[in-house]
Amino acid sequence: MKKYTFIFPVLIMVFLIGSLALVSCGKEKKEKEEEPLYPEVKKSAEEVSFELGKEIFNGRGTCHTCHKPNEKLVGPPLALIAKTYKEKGASIPDFLTEKSGPIVVPAEYNTMKANFKITKALTDEERKALETYILSFGK
């Protein structure tokens, strides 16, 4: 019996220290709630559309590889497209779904045609957003 009177307190101590360690590990400080870097500003529908268009134009749409804002690359500059479409009141989503033909550089239409696979797979909202973005380069 004498043996146990010595071993029990030791066991209890070990147990207590062990569980204390566990508890303190689990009590890691809760991360401070992240505060937004900028206060939230309500964006207008136009801004939301512009940003979506910009993102597609420079991203998965790959349009930026041929179109620049003010210089001719493979395709005409966005400023010229915007000017032409505004003057004629034409629709870019219609062009992007082949509902209407080319009015900017018809002679080079074939090069642009290769992109209709991409633009037809977009949603109406996304094609509209591309229009918002492109027309923003017009005066």
Enumerate binding residues for ligand HEC (CB under 6 A).
Answer: 61-63, 65-67, 74-76, 81, 92, 95, 102-105, 108-109, 111-112, 115, 118-119, 130, 134
Cβ atoms 77, 134 nearer than 8 A: no
What 3-state class would DSSP assign to 39? coil
Least distance in angstroms from the C-beta of 139 to ligand HEC: 17
* Nearest residue (CB) to ligand HEC, 20 versus 60: 60
Exposed / middle / buried, residue 103 (Cβ in 10 Å: 0-12, 13-18, 19+): middle
113: left (phi over 0), alpha (psi -120 to 50) or beta: alpha
Least distance in angstroms from the C-beta of 71 to ligand HEC: 13
* Nearest residue (CB) to ligand HEC, 71 versus 108: 108
